[in-house]
Each structure stands twice: as C-alpha cells, then as structure tokens.
Amino acid sequence: MSILSGKNILLGVSAGIAAYKTASLVRLFIKAGAQVKVVMTPASIDFVTPLTLSTLSQNPVYSTFFDKKDEETEEWNSHVELGLWADYMLVAPATANTLSKMANGVCDNLLLATYLSAKCKVYFAPTMDLDMYQHPTTKSNIEKLQKFGNVFIAPSSGFLASGLTGEGRMEEPENIVSFIENEIMNGLPLFKKKVLITAGPTYEAIDPVRFIGNHSSGKMGFELAKTAASLGAEVYLISGPSHEVVTTSAIKRIDVVSAEEMNNAVHTYYKDMDIAILSAAVADYKPKNISDQKIKKSSDSMTIELVKTHDILASLGKEKKHQFLVGFALETNNEIENAKLKLQKKNLDLIVLNSLQDKGAGFKTETNKVTLIDKLNNVTEFSLKSKEEVAADIFNEIAKTIHA
C-alpha cells in the first residue's frame, strides 16, 4: 500500500496545456488510496473540464470563491478550509504566471488563496515553453518557492506544444506520484530501518484438539507494526494466532503458532534488524509430551507435565549487537521494580510495563496504559490511551534515543 493511503491530496491546476494530464494524476492518487480535491484557476477550465476531475476525484471541483446555487443564493468556497484539509498540496501544472504569483504573494484567484492558506507541504510541477522556463524570472521564482519550503518537481525535456523540443514538459503523472511518495518516505524517521515486532499469543499443543494459550488478541503488536510502517520502516511482524489484519505491503507478516515456532522465526530475522519489539504473549511453559491422538476423558483428574519454553527476549539480549531491543512486562505487583529487573537482566534498551491493576489495559481491549522505562532507569508514565496512540508513544521514545 502506498504511503499516500488515507492522505488528503489537494491538487491545484493552472492554465497550461499539460492540464490534460491532471485526469491521470487524480486517478493515480485515488489508486494509491488518497482522498483528492481539485482547485482550478478560472482559465484552466478551458484545458480540462471540472466535470472530468470531479467525476474522477469523487469530490466537487473548486474554481471560484462563490458557487451560485440559484438566482438568490451563493455558497462560499473556503480557501482556509481547503488549505487546512490537505495533508499535501500539489500545483500541477504550474504555469509561469502561477509560479510568479505564488512566489510573490499575489492572490487573485481561489487556487492562490488556497496556496497561501495551506499549512501542509506544497509540491509544484512547472510546465511552459523552453524559453519561458529558462528565463531568469522563472528561475528566480522557482528558487524563491524552494526557499519557502515548497518542493520542486522538475520538468522533463521533450516535444513541447509550441513544436520546439527542450525543457519545459510537465513531468509525467506516474513520475510525479512516485516522486512525492519517495520524498515523503525519505523524510520519515524510520526510513530504511528494519523493524521486527512479535504479536499475539502462542498455542502450546496438548493433543490435536487442545492447547495451552492466553487471551492476547495481538492488537498491540499490530498497532506497533502499523505505526512503524507509517514512519517509513520495513516491518517484519511475527504473529501468533490472531484475527488482526495487515493492510500495507510495508509489513511482512510471518504467522506462527507455538513458542518454538516464534523463537525460530525471530532468530531467523533478528540479525538483520535495527529495532526489535517483542510484544507477543509467549507461553512460558509447554506440555512435555504431546499426544498424537485426542486424549479421552477417563478419570476425574489429569496431570500434564510442563517444561519451560525458550526465553526469546533473553536470548536476543545476549546476541544483541547494533539492535535497539524493546520488551514488554505484564505485572500484577511490584510493577516498577520487576520491570527494571527484567530490563537489566535481559539487556534491553526499553521496557514497556503493563499492569493488570489498571482498568482498560491488558488483553482484548482497545486501550492500554503503559509505563516506559529506559536503560538509564528513567520512568515515563502515560495515561490510558488507544493502542494506536500507545504505539505512537513507544516509537516517539525509540526515535528520541536512536536519533540522539
């Protein structure tokens, strides 16, 4: 799934022949999972119709400050609301005229008013004839916009509408979308980082139909994986049995059932990871002997001999070289002391403490309440939050440390 999935894209269209490419741009943004709204200069509607872009974007297209509903009623199109709505704004095509106005604060149409109101990152893709593009004023305006923090998508060389050949062609829609995706990814704090996350319970077989397990849903681990992916990481999610789903190709899901399988999978990937977060509720014990047939009920009681499973977290702490290692601790008493002991004993960089004493925290909930303890024994307590927000808090703490 694209980094643009779920994002709001505001496309500004000015009056250049390359405006015909905006239909493809809208389709590509929609295909990437983005929401798209289009703002046009009044002159640009001679090159591509608002109906076309409205149909493709599934949103109204805006070109004037007021829309006339009937003889007596006009509806205001708020440039402020449009600017606040957008996660990213793209002006494409950006003509020499529109570039000049953007660079010098001229505000004589809805597109320019929206640009001046936008709080988000703005990309611009120029289009014009080669002599216009090479003119000193155009070069100066592009440099000025870049100094403002706007991102320049350079035009390509090729056959121009004037019949000449040279620089000035607006970049092709596929390349524009790829440029924006890559530029966003490059700016994310975990770009090019590999993150391993474990999630869910493990099931330890007694016989073909029975097992020892726990109530973990895996939701916390899956939220961590989603957050890591949104921050630009390549994520390896090793999950025990869980109904949670992965919705992005940035997350590689590896399904396991038992503690032994999870141990093997974790050690397969760990050496190549930058960050490892072990949030799975791995069974501490498993049956010593597993029956290959369903055990029949033959007496009032039954004894199952249990043996320890691998301590995956401790083994990773011993093998740790460059990795940032995070563990979870679910405690019921002496929470802080027990978590600090686990942090030190298992050579962790950070431990996430859950307490079953906290209402709304623990297994099978949409919320969690955690305390983070780092290797210097700094303790940070958080209030009850959604697991999505908790995942963000955990990664904020990790980012502070690895980028310090």
CB contact at 8 A, 337 and 355: no
Pick the more confident residue, 389 or 165.
389
Domains 8-186 and 194-402 share a fold: yes
Q: Which of 235, 238, 239 is nearest to 249 (CA)?
A: 235
Run of H or E residues at 62 = strand 61-62
Rounded to an integer, the average pLDDT of 322-332 is: 91
User: How high is the pLDDT of residue 362?
Assistant: 64
Is there a binding annotation on residue 152? no
101 by Cβ neighbours in 10 Å (0-12 / 13-18 / 19+) ranks as buried
Is there a binding annotation on residue 346? yes
pLDDT beyond 80 at 70 = no
- Pairing relation of β-strands 275-278 and 194-199? parallel
Residues 314, 14: Cα–Cα separation, whole Å: 60
User: How high is the pLDDT of residue 247?
Assistant: 80
Which tokens belong to 186? 């490059």
CB contact at 8 A, 11 and 26: yes
Helix spans in 301-349 (H): 312-319, 335-345
- Contacts of residue 198, defined as CB under 8 A and 6 or more positions apart, other chains included, come to 221, 237, 238, 239, 262, 266, 277, 278, 279, 280, 282, 312
- Contacts of residue 157, defined as CB under 8 A and 6 or more positions apart, other chains included, come to 165, 166, 167, 168, 169
Give the SS3 label for residue 329.
strand
Residues 10, 91: Cα–Cα separation, whole Å: 8
What fold is seen in the domain 8-186?
Rossmann fold (3.40.50)
User: How high is the pLDDT of residue 159?
Assistant: 82
* Range with the poorest average pLDDT among 152-156, 264-268, 331-335: 331-335
Q: Which of 106, 96, 90, 86 is nearest to 40 (CA)?
A: 90
pLDDT beyond 80 at 224 = yes
Rounded to an integer, the average pLDDT of 335-340 is: 92
Run of H or E residues at 100 = helix 96-104
pTM of the model: 0.79
Residues 132, 219: Cα–Cα separation, whole Å: 55
Q: What is the mean pLDDT of the chain?
A: 92
User: How high is the pLDDT of residue 249?
Assistant: 81
* Range with the poorest average pLDDT among 86-90, 187-191, 199-203, 276-280: 187-191
Q: Of these residues, 214, 264, 338, 347, which one is catalytic?
A: 214
Give residue-wise pLDDT tens across range 7-54. 999 999 999 999 999 999 999 999 999 999 999 999 999 999 999 999
Domain boundaries, the chain: 8-186, 194-402
Q: Which CATH class is domain 194-402?
A: alpha beta
**DSSP state for residue 231 in the 8-state scheme:** T
Q: What is the DSSP string of 117-144?
A: H--SEEEEEE---HHHHHSHHHHHHHHH
- Annotation marks residue 109 as catalytic: no
Is there a binding annotation on residue 284? yes
User: How high is the pLDDT of residue 381?
Assistant: 93
Beta-bridge partner residues of 322: none
44 phi and psi angles, rounded to 5 deg: -70, -20
Assign residue 254 a region: left if phi > 0, alpha if psi is -120 to 50, beta otherwise?
beta
Is there a binding annotation on residue 219? no
104 by Cβ neighbours in 10 Å (0-12 / 13-18 / 19+) ranks as exposed
**DSSP state for residue 281 in the 8-state scheme:** B
Residues 220, 388: Cα–Cα separation, whole Å: 8
159 by Cβ neighbours in 10 Å (0-12 / 13-18 / 19+) ranks as exposed
373 phi and psi angles, rounded to 5 deg: -130, 125
Label residue 73 by pLDDT band (50, 70, 90): low
Helix spans in 275-350 (H): 312-319, 335-345
Give the dihedral of Cα atoms 201, 391, 251, 319; nearest 10 deg: -70
Q: In the chain, what's the furthest Cα-to-Cα distance?
A: 94
Label residue 145 by pLDDT band (50, 70, 90): very high
**DSSP state for residue 209 in the 8-state scheme:** S
